[in-house]
């Protein structure tokens, strides 16, 4: 920016950028004084109507602490201040661009490239200086000639140094891959609970033609290139066509989406709607998955008149509202946005929904969506078909009761720990004192062995961002996908990865479920995920639709338990990959050297963020000047929600406290957690890895604690006698025994242990004093 110099003018208002020490006191009427980094801070006065400000050009390039205003004698009266004068990409143009309403922000990749170029230039300069020092005694002409030669040679070397570290072993020395011992799960698979009727066996010879599907659907199936139904499709479609409730589980990438959409489409085609109403609701956990399911549905419905609508967060609310008002047949939504519409779009309701589908059902029924799902189920029609699908489908009745399945059919084509059939699983052991090697190992894998079509999963958004910068600085084509990005950025990253514009997508678990990206060859886990379920989904982004794929997971000492579980349940041998130690060391060194550049990129980002904030303030001020009205935040945008603001706050706070509580459990953990928090900006590689692992452990602990808690069924299966009580809650007539034996509150347990109280003893005619008073003899203890 131009500290202490004129920056521009818009309409009748002039802008000046104040440099350090410049107070803006000389600012003329009608100026807005900017203090860069803090937004406008100076006097904003009514416009004086001055149209052309004058400024000698050299002043722009020689910033000083003080500049005099247009009334002073420093400026040429002939100089016209405006956009035209810049004549291209001058400093003025850049400044104006930054101040204009829509400033072109640079992408992260542009920033990385800028820092890389700067580093390259510095390295070249340093080399040249070294050569100059060495050759000071030789003749001038000879020195010059040699410098020229060196320069051109350096240029060639630079291209190489993107990957090489002057060490051939880096590329030539191969990793060692060993087969890890494996054995099948000894215990027989758990028996299905009586809640289900099992229909996991299917007719293997069934074709799409045998399924009695309508012509428009068969045409779409052919258009998509599906020749044979996959096992889950063979098992599910006939049952679903009968209108039965389904609880289905099949490995990742085996075509579950078509398994639930095809029968639904058949139903809509066979029995067309009488009025424009929404008859099918598909709920998905993430926005990207919603977009994907919507796209598949549209493709399968392309030759029919079935209408679809997408209502996921991050996309325009008004457009969605308009689409919902027209009553689309199928609605694909994320829970949050759906509730938003239910409460703010008066004509939209769920009472007409005939089929409810939960894709990634185990996720939809977990604690994260608990409140929202409760609300949606409450608003749904009772007479509906419900279908649950996931690769890690839970069989626990207490979980499924919440969606009130009616005599559900259990279709488990695979067990819920099965990974994709053609997946090759590899693990890299991280030794106890080598936690800090993770970044080096991942960098080595990506530069040496798996250069493209790779998804790299990290536990935190921060680590994903760091890996994007780090790998970008190494010259790799990288993108990132996580919750800290805007929806546009998330979709753009996904598009670029699908279009092969980038080779590596660094993502958090937001991209772990359901996403079907063609051609992903490798999935790398920076740390092991929270649970085995998460692992199954992450590695399921590769080896889809009958293709082969590979996963490489880094496993530290604290994560070995999960590795054991995975090895136990694996149906094909898993491999242990060992990277040569000198390669790891080289990459570690390389990362250490890049640390400054990572910091530079982060600084550029921070500056840009601050500029954007300043710009937003300016725009607000401008609007204020033009309209003379104070803008209130979120004016007219207030939308209602099923919880009040207070309730939402309380829920968030309770969750945060729970997390905090867990994090602080145990002295050692507490100390570490606090230290990490403080050092978060500048952590060592070891601490960064530890932080990642701690995060996933905290999640796993929370989950375990929740699972230990007795779950309250929110809605019982409708045909169960207990579910009949639809009216207001009535207290059951429990016997004393029922009450005592089922009450597990802390107080009740205490009372139980202490025995009957004095009052109870009296009432029951029991001896009112223990023999020997309250003293318990040793012999009593022994007898016990």
Ligand X SMILES: Nc1ncnc2c1ncn2[C@@H]1O[C@H](COP(=O)(O)OP(=O)(O)OP(=O)(O)O)[C@@H](O)[C@H]1O
165, 356, 391, 507: which one contacts ligand X (CB under 6 A)? 391
129, 148, 545, 603: which one contacts ligand X (CB under 6 A)? 545
Which H, E and C letters describe 609-652, residue by residue? HHHHHHHHHHHHHHHHHHHCCCCCCCCCCCCCCCCCHHHHHHHH
From 22-30, 245-253, 638-646, 723-731, give the range in contact with ligand X by CB under 6 A. Answer: 245-253
From 63-71, 227-235, 590-598, 613-621, give the range in contact with ligand X by CB under 6 A. Answer: 227-235
- DSSP-based helix, strand, coil % in the chain, nearest 5: 45, 10, 40
Cα first-last separation, the chain: 82
From 89-97, 235-243, 256-264, 633-641, give the range in contact with ligand X by CB under 6 A. Answer: 256-264
Residue 300 CB, shortest distance to ligand X, in Å, is: 10
- Contact status, residue 209 vs residue 222, Cβ threshold 8 Å: no
Helix (H) or strand (E) holding 677, with range, is helix 667-679
Question: Is residue 438 within the footprint of ligand X (CB under 6 A)?
Answer: no
| Distance from C-alpha of 776 to C-alpha of 736, rounded to nearest angstrom | 28
Question: Is residue 229 within the footprint of ligand X (CB under 6 A)?
Answer: yes
Question: Is residue 252 within the footprint of ligand X (CB under 6 A)?
Answer: yes
Burial per residue of 153-167, b for 16 or more beta-carbon CB atoms within 10 angstroms, e otherwise:
ebeeeeeeeeeebee
Residue 393 CB, shortest distance to ligand X, in Å, is: 10
| Distance from C-alpha of 498 to C-alpha of 493, rounded to nearest angstrom | 9
For residue 112, what are its two tokens? 């990385």
Question: Is residue 254 within the footprint of ligand X (CB under 6 A)?
Answer: yes
Question: Is residue 362 within the footprint of ligand X (CB under 6 A)?
Answer: no
From 538-546, 578-586, 625-633, 724-732, give the range in contact with ligand X by CB under 6 A. Answer: 538-546
Q: Which residue is nearest to ligand X (CB)?
A: 255
- According to DSSP H, which parts of 227-369 are helical? 231-241, 256-270, 287-300, 317-325, 335-344, 361-364
Stretch 55-114 residues interacting with ligand X (CB under 6 A): none
545 or 654: CB nearest ligand X: 545
From 150-158, 225-233, 409-417, 762-770, give the range in contact with ligand X by CB under 6 A. Answer: 225-233
Question: Is residue 285 within the footprint of ligand X (CB under 6 A)?
Answer: no
79, 163, 171, 226: which one contacts ligand X (CB under 6 A)? 226
109 forms beta bridges with none
Residue 389 CB, shortest distance to ligand X, in Å, is: 7
14, 96, 258, 563: which one contacts ligand X (CB under 6 A)? 258
Burial per residue of 562-586, b for 16 or more beta-carbon CB atoms within 10 angstroms, e otherwise:
bbeebbebbeeebbbbebbeebbeb
Question: Is residue 479 within the footprint of ligand X (CB under 6 A)?
Answer: no
Residue 566 CB, shortest distance to ligand X, in Å, is: 17
Residue 451 CB, shortest distance to ligand X, in Å, is: 24
Stretch 713-772 residues interacting with ligand X (CB under 6 A): none
Residue 227 CB, shortest distance to ligand X, in Å, is: 6
Residue 470: C-alpha distances to residues 112, 443, 485, 503, 593 (Å): 9, 9, 18, 14, 11
| Three-class DSSP category at 378 | helix
290 or 540: CB nearest ligand X: 540
Q: What are residue 341's phi and psi, to 5 degrees? A: -65, -40
- Contact status, residue 520 vs residue 542, Cβ threshold 8 Å: yes
203 or 557: CB nearest ligand X: 203
- Contact status, residue 406 vs residue 717, Cβ threshold 8 Å: yes
- Contact status, residue 234 vs residue 204, Cβ threshold 8 Å: yes
517 or 598: CB nearest ligand X: 517
19, 255, 327, 685: which one contacts ligand X (CB under 6 A)? 255
Contact pattern for ligand X over residues 169 through 208, marking x by CB under 6 A: ----------------------------------------
356 or 420: CB nearest ligand X: 420
| Distance from C-alpha of 221 to C-alpha of 233, rounded to nearest angstrom | 12
Question: Is residue 509 within the footprint of ligand X (CB under 6 A)?
Answer: no
| Distance from C-alpha of 315 to C-alpha of 197, rounded to nearest angstrom | 40
Q: What is the largest CA-CA distance in the chain?
A: 118
Which residue in this structure is represented by tokens 């928090």?
677
| Distance from C-alpha of 371 to C-alpha of 368, rounded to nearest angstrom | 8
150 or 362: CB nearest ligand X: 362
Residue 514 CB, shortest distance to ligand X, in Å, is: 4
Which residue in this structure is represented by tokens 């599910």?
236
**Which DSSP symbol is given to 672?**
H
Question: Is residue 532 within the footprint of ligand X (CB under 6 A)?
Answer: no
Residue 11 CB, shortest distance to ligand X, in Å, is: 53
87 or 225: CB nearest ligand X: 225
Question: Is residue 256 within the footprint of ligand X (CB under 6 A)?
Answer: yes
Q: Where are the beta strands (DSSP E) in 166-276?
A: 176-179, 197-198, 246-249
Question: Is residue 230 within the footprint of ligand X (CB under 6 A)?
Answer: yes
390 or 614: CB nearest ligand X: 390
- Contact status, residue 555 vs residue 576, Cβ threshold 8 Å: no
217 or 694: CB nearest ligand X: 217
Which residue in this structure is represented by tokens 């589908």?
357
544, 577, 588, 688: which one contacts ligand X (CB under 6 A)? 544
Residue 168 CB, shortest distance to ligand X, in Å, is: 40
Question: Is residue 263 within the footprint of ligand X (CB under 6 A)?
Answer: no
Question: Is residue 514 within the footprint of ligand X (CB under 6 A)?
Answer: yes
Residue 405 CB, shortest distance to ligand X, in Å, is: 20
Q: What are residue 80's phi and psi, to 5 degrees? A: -95, 125
94 or 241: CB nearest ligand X: 241
8 or 229: CB nearest ligand X: 229
Residue 103 CB, shortest distance to ligand X, in Å, is: 39
Residue 406 CB, shortest distance to ligand X, in Å, is: 24
For residue 411, what are its two tokens? 């279709």
Question: Is residue 356 within the footprint of ligand X (CB under 6 A)?
Answer: no
Residue 384: C-alpha distances to residues 258, 263, 352, 649, 712 (Å): 20, 14, 9, 33, 23
Contacts with ligand X: how many residues (CB under 6 A)?
Answer: 18
From 63-71, 159-167, 224-232, 649-657, give the range in contact with ligand X by CB under 6 A. Answer: 224-232
Residue 444 CB, shortest distance to ligand X, in Å, is: 28
Burial per residue of 733-772, b for 16 or more beta-carbon CB atoms within 10 angstroms, e otherwise:
eeeeeeeeeeeeeeeeeeeeeeeeeeeeeeeeeeeeeeee
Residue 538 CB, shortest distance to ligand X, in Å, is: 10
- Contact status, residue 556 vs residue 692, Cβ threshold 8 Å: no
234 or 244: CB nearest ligand X: 234
Residue 176 CB, shortest distance to ligand X, in Å, is: 31
Burial per residue of 187-212, b for 16 or more beta-carbon CB atoms within 10 angstroms, e otherwise:
eeeeeeeebbeebbebeeebebeebe
Residue 572 CB, shortest distance to ligand X, in Å, is: 19
255 or 327: CB nearest ligand X: 255
Residue 703 CB, shortest distance to ligand X, in Å, is: 20
150, 516, 597, 687: which one contacts ligand X (CB under 6 A)? 516
How are beta strands 197-198 and 409-412 bridged, if at all?
parallel
Q: Which of 478, 467, 501, 597 is nearest to 114 (CA)?
A: 597
Question: Is residue 257 within the footprint of ligand X (CB under 6 A)?
Answer: yes
Q: Using CB under 6 A, list all residues that contact ligand X.
A: 226, 229-230, 233, 250, 252-258, 391, 514, 516, 540, 544-545
């Amino acid at each position: 920016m131009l500290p202490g110099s004129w920056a521009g003018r818009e309409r009748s208002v002039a802008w000046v950028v104040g440099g350090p020490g410049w107070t803006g006191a000389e600012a003329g009427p009608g100026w807005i004084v900017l203090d860069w980094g803090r937004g406008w801070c100076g006097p904003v006065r009514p416009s004086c109507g001055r149209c052309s400000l004058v400024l000698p050009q050299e002043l722009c390039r020689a910033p000083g602490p003080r500049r005099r205003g247009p009334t002073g004698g420093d400026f040429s009266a002939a100089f016209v201040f405006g956009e035209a004068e810049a004549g291209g990409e001058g400093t003025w143009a850049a400044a104006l661009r930054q101040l204009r309403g829509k400033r072109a922000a640079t992408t992260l990749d542009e920033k990385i490239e800028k820092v890389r170029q700067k580093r390259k230039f510095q390295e070249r300069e340093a080399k040249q200086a070294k050569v100059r020092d060495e050759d000071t005694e030789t003749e001038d002409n000879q020195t010059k000639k040699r410098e020229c030669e060196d320069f051109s040679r350096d240029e060639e070397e630079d291209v190489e140094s993107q990957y090489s570290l002057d060490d051939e072993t880096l590329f030539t020395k191969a990793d060692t891959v060993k087969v890890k011992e494996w054995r099948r799960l000894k215990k027989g698979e758990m028996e299905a609970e009586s809640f289900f009727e099992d229909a996991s066996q299917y007719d293997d010879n069934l074709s799409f033609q045998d399924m009695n599907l309508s012509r428009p659907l068969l045409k779409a199936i052919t258009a998509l290139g599906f020749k044979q139904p996959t096992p889950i499709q063979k098992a599910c479609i006939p049952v679903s066509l009968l209108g039965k409730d389904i609880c289905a589980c099949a490995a990742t990438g085996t075509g579950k989406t078509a398994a639930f959409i095809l029968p639904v489409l058949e139903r809509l085609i066979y029995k067309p709607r009488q009025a424009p109403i929404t008859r099918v609701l598909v709920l998905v956990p993430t926005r990207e998955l919603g977009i994907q399911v919507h796209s598949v549905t549209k493709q399968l419905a392309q030759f029919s008149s079935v209408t679809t609508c997408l209502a996921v967060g991050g996309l325009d609310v008004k457009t969605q509202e308009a689409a919902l008002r027209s009553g689309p047949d199928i609605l694909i939504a994320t829970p949050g946005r759906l509730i938003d519409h239910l409460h703010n779009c008066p004509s939209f309701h769920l009472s007409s929904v005939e089929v409810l589908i939960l894709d990634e059902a185990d996720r939809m029924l977990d604690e994260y969506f608990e409140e929202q799902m409760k609300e949606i189920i409450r608003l749904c029609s009772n007479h509906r078909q419900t279908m649950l699908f996931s690769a890690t489908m839970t069989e626990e009745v207490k979980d499924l009761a919440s969606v009130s399945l009616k005599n559900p059919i259990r279709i488990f084509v695979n067990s819920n720990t099965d990974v994709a059939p053609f997946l090759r699983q590899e693990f890299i052991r991280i030794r106890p004192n080598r936690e800090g090697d993770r970044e080096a190992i991942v960098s080595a894998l990506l530069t040496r062995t798996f250069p493209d079509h790779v998804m790299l999963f990290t536990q935190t958004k921060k680590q994903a961002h760091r890996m994007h910068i780090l790998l970008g600085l190494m010259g790799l084509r990288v993108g990132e996908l996580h919750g800290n990005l805007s929806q546009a950025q998330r979709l753009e990253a996904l598009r670029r990865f699908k279009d092969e514009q980038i080779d590596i997508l660094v993502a958090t678990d937001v991209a772990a479920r359901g996403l079907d990206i063609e051609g992903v060859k490798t999935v790398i886990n920076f740390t092991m995920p929270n649970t085995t379920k998460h692992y199954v989904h992450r590695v399921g982004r590769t080896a889809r639709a009958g293709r082969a794929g590979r996963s490489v997971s880094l496993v530290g000492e604290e994560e070995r338990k999960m590795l054991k579980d995975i090895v136990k349940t694996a149906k094909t041998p898993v491999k242990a990959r060992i990277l040569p130690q000198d390669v790891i060391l080289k990459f570690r060194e390389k990362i250490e050297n890049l640390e400054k550049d990572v910091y530079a990129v982060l600084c550029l980002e921070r500056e840009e963020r601050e500029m954007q904030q300043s710009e937003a303030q300016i725009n607000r001020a401008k609007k204020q000047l033009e309209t003379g009205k104070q803008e209130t935040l979120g004016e007219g945008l207030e939308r209602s929600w099923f919880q009040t603001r207070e309730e939402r706050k309380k829920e968030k706070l309770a969750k945060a406290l729970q997390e905090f509580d867990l994090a602080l459990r145990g002295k050692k953990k507490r100390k570490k957690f606090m230290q990490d928090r403080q050092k978060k900006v500048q952590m060592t590689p070891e601490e960064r890895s530890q932080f990642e692992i701690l995060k996933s452990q905290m999640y796993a602990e929370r989950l375990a604690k929740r699972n230990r808690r007795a779950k309250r069924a929110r809605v019982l299966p409708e045909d169960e006698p207990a579910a009949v009580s639809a009216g207001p809650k009535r207290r059951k007539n429990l016997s004393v025994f029922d009450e005592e034996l089922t009450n597990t509150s802390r107080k009740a347990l205490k009372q139980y242990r202490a025995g009957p109280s004095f009052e109870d003893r009296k009432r029951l005619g029991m001896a009112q004093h223990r023999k020997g008073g309250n003293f318990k003899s040793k012999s009593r203890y022994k007898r016990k």
